[in-house]
Amino acid sequence: MDRMTAASSDPPTSEPGEAAARGPDLGGMLRRSARGDESAFAELYDATCRRIYGLVLRIVRDPAMSEEVTQEVYLDVWRTSARFDGAKGSAISWLMTIAHRTAVDRVRSSEASRRRDDAHATATQEVDFDQTAEAAHTSIEAQRVRKALESLTEAQRSAVELAYLGGYTHTEVASLLDLPLGTAKTRIRDGLIRLRDTLGVPA
């Protein structure tokens, strides 16, 4: 986030409740992007690219493909920026939802999963958070999240990690964890509920 630029000079025109955002005003950048403001979009890119590229890379694994997917994500964000509605959730959540789904859909296409499997034949039974990027270890947010994960049971944590960071379907998660079919989705939901309660995440 060191590259983030000063927040929008464009005063928020809508909901007063939203003005109290901490960090860069991503919602404002999205609104300006929707009007075709490329410099606002560049600010948005600078403020979010580490998070988006990092997640995509985590799921997709192949760096070249991850760049492709990331580019696709930002193109989608640009095209659909007018559809972002701050009343329904935070801008970062909206962005990450697009990024996650695009990455997951890509790895599920056959060619992509073959390439990923070739590159990482041995990966994934256990997702190791310590393998992640240097920056993540020091960020306060990452420490908070890591701590919150400790509140999950081992089973919930594995299910959530495989689904979110591994990009697996609940059926695949069940099979990877030797769970009866149908159990994984409950684990995922219970784990996320606990994570939400521990983090106190705003929607």
Q: Could you say whether residue 15 binds another protein (CB under 8 A)?
A: no
| Least CB distance to another protein at residue 48 (A) | 10
Q: Could you say whether residue 23 binds another protein (CB under 8 A)?
A: no
Phi/psi zone of residue 170: left (φ > 0), alpha (ψ -120 to 50 degrees), beta? Answer: alpha
Query: Which residue number, 7 or 113, has a Cβ lying nearer to another protein?
Result: 113
Q: What angle do CA 109, 114, 155 make, to 5 degrees?
A: 80
Within residues 24-43, the interface with another protein by CB under 8 A covers: 33-36, 38, 41-42
Q: Could you say whether residue 61 binds another protein (CB under 8 A)?
A: no
| Least CB distance to another protein at residue 20 (A) | 16
Residue 81: CA atoms inside 13 Å, Cβ hemisphere, count? 22
Within residues 68-127, the interface with another protein by CB under 8 A covers: 70-76, 78-85, 88-90, 92-94, 96-102, 104-106, 108-112
Neighbours of 27 (CB within 10 A): 24
The two three-digit tokens of residue 75, written as one number = 């193109």
CB 26 within 8 A of CB 47: yes
Within residues 155-184, the interface with another protein by CB under 8 A covers: 160-161, 163-165, 167-171, 173, 184
* Residue whose C-alpha is closest to residue 184's, from 162, 152, 151: 162
| Least CB distance to another protein at residue 80 (A) | 6
